[in-house]
Structure 1
């Protein structure tokens, strides 16, 4: 039974043809199919729980966004092109404070993502789990985008709004772009909380995608017995 399980899981994980993977699963003895599928789902759920906790833990730390070159929240593109002008007008410190406070707001909100991801994982069916394993390198991340974006937006926005207000970031943003909009034919959207919320959620999913890749590709990332059993034994069959 162990041999059947590991071969079937390996096919689901790495087979380039979904049809071939389905063929192998279809050939399993009927009595073992449900147990194997439940083991696969349990392993995947554990992997995703660990991965999302790692992601949100990194981003909710101080400088989780601000010191991350890939995720640091900057002025929107239409504003970046006039940033030097604003600095020349003596607004450099205001711009710097706005950028720092945007990232601090995202960091504070990131901790709210963990229970939302956990809830999505709990609701995942066996069919969802098998679909994710067959679905490509970013299938889990795409699943989370579909299932959690609305809830993340609802949870993030008030936290970010409150965080921005605590450090007067909304005022800094208003000062900067009120000045900019007076001289521009293409005004910048002054909804700071909305902008930061969107960027923060994009950053969360970026980190989740990195964790997904670790679990799929790096044996060292499988840190529990269940993960090693589900992922490690399957890959061992290829050696």
Structure 2
């Protein structure tokens, strides 16, 4: 089967599943709940796989798409973090010393290591959030390759951030990031003037790590859906045949 035919067939299956679920949700709440549970299982597999991958040493730092950057000076109220215009680049140009630039590089690696440690501990937290998916969201979920991931992010993203934060803070201490940051803050008036604290650092890492986790979960969900012979493909096909 060529790729064009395969893609068209999968679109037909997903469209049919969306219509079937929409009708079942109105006609039979009990059976609709079973369908929602099936898609929850799909998302659970995707989240487990994503978190396992991100928990591997160097996973966050090694992928520029999810790499944790140091907070952006001058925008600590948002604390979005990111690589462009990051604190590392700013301090590197201002301080201009190899020693302190090396310290910044080391801190960035520690932030990414901490994100990986937290990802490894976050499976139960994500499984709990996934278990709360509602059938009213399923018709929309099945129409997008990462529909379940996007729903989870919309409905539980803030709660997951609150629960991930203490894991990140603990990991930042474990990998030595807070110690490195404290040393940098003592020697840099720029850090002090910007109001960058341990708390601000922890929030920035949490926000960036959660975005990276959702990105990976979405990718895993898409891969599971794209394989008609795998568990997810069988699940979607079985849901259609069973209803």
Q: TM-score, normalised by structure 2?
A: 0.71
Q: Which residue of 2 aligns with 1:71?
A: 66
Give the superposition deviation at 1:185: 11
Larger radius of gyration: 1
Q: Which residue of 2 aligns with 1:112?
A: 121
Distance 1:57 1:167, change over 3 A: closer
Give the superposition deviation at 1:186: 7.6
Distance 1:91 1:123, change over 3 A: same
Does 1:228 pair with 2:228? no
Distance 1:35 1:12, change over 3 A: farther
Give the superposition deviation at 1:40: 3.3
CA contact (8 A) 1:116 1:148 kept: no
Q: Which residue of 2 aligns with 1:161?
A: 169
Q: Distance in 2 between matches of 1:218 and 1:90?
A: 49
Does 1:62 pair with 2:57? yes
Q: Distance in 2 between matches of 1:89 and 1:128?
A: 53
Q: Where does 1:85-164 land on structure 2 (aligned, <5 Å)?
A: 85=93, 86=95, 88=97, 90-134=99-143, 136-164=144-172
Q: TM-score, normalised by structure 1?
A: 0.72
Q: Which residue of 2 aligns with 1:44?
A: 39
Aligned-residue CA RMSD (Å): 3.5
CA contact (8 A) 2:54 2:116 kept: yes
Decide which moves more: 171-180 or 72-81.
171-180
Does 1:205 pair with 2:214? yes
Distance 1:188 1:51, change over 3 A: same
Long gaps (5+) in structure 1: 1-8
Q: Which residue of 2 aligns with 1:3?
A: none
Q: Which residue of 2 aligns with 1:189?
A: 196
Q: Deviations over 1:43-70 (max 9, x none)?
A: 3122111111001111112212122222
Distance 1:183 1:129, change over 3 A: closer
Long gaps (5+) in structure 2: 1-9, 72-84
Q: Where does 1:8-19 land on structure 2 (aligned, <5 Å)?
A: 13-14=14-15
